[in-house]
């Protein structure tokens, strides 16, 4: 069974790379990383407008060190259906040094190997009905 998550916007490298600070600092109940959702349109945070685009990522196709980390919605900051894609250490913790290295390439012409891993797991582009 595949584990699909959705990220609003284009399939461009920048949109598949986390932002420094915003995506590299976690909060209670939520790991830092590239934000995705298990449902494409139902969460207001995803906010794909009618007719809008989202990229579909198959988490089972992600190669290590990247993993999908689900929020703990019972904790403050955790959101139901939110999944962070982040590099992890062998013991399962977020590799913050590597995450920041990855985020530092956003907006540059350099494509980080972790962005390439996400691209290889990007299996479809979907549109929200108008």
Partner 1 sequence: MITPQIERVADFQMQVVAGEDLAVSIPSAVLGADLHGTAWFPLLKEPAGTTDSFDWDSIHRAVQEILGTLASWVLSRAPATAWKSGRSSARAFPLFSYRVFYRLDGNDYDPVIVGVTVSLEGSIARVSGDISGDESGRVYFDEGCSLEVPSHQEAIFDAACYVAYLLVVPGQIVLDAISDRDFQVVER
Q: Spell out, one character per residue from 87 to 126, where the chain touches partner 1: x when CB under 8 A holds, - when not.
A: --------------------x-----------xxxxxxx-
- Residue from 1, 2, 51, 74 that binds partner 1 (CB under 8 A)? 51
Question: What are 63's two structure tokens?
Answer: 């190669």
Asked whether position 14 contacts partner 1 by CB under 8 A, the answer is yes
Dist. CA 124–CA 114, nearest whole Å: 18
Asked whether position 27 contacts partner 1 by CB under 8 A, the answer is no
Asked whether position 15 contacts partner 1 by CB under 8 A, the answer is yes
Through-space distance between the first and last CA atoms of the chain, rounded to whole angstroms? 29
Q: Which residue has the tokens 């916007």?
A: 9
Task: Return the DSSP state at 70.
Answer: E
- Residue from 3, 9, 80, 96 that binds partner 1 (CB under 8 A)? 9
Asked whether position 12 contacts partner 1 by CB under 8 A, the answer is yes
Q: Report which of 11, 24, 30, 113 is spatially closest to residue 72, judged by C-alpha positions.
A: 30
Question: What are 34's two structure tokens?
Answer: 């590239």
Angle between helices 113-121 and 96-103 (to 10 degrees): 90
Pick 97 or 123: Cβ nearer partner 1: 123
Least distance between partner 1 and beta carbon 71 (Å): 13
What are the residues binding partner 1 (CB under 8 A)? Answer: 8-15, 35, 45-49, 51-56, 61, 107, 119-125, 127-128
């Amino acid at each position: 069974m595949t584990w699909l998550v959705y990220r609003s916007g284009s399939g461009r490298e920048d949109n598949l790379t986390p932002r420094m600070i915003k995506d590299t600092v976690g909060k209670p109940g939520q790991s830092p990383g590239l934000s995705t959702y298990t449902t494409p349109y139902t969460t207001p945070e995803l906010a794909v407008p009618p007719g809008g685009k989202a990229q579909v990522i198959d988490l089972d196709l992600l190669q290590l060190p990247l993993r999908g980390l689900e929020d703990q919605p019972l904790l403050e900051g955790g959101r139901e259906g939110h999944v962070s894609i982040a590099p992890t250490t062998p013991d399962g913790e977020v590799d913050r040094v590597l995450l920041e290295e990855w985020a530092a390439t956003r907006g540059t012409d350099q494509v980080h190997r972790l962005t390439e891993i996400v691209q290889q797991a990007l299996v479809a582009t979907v549109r929200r009905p108008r």
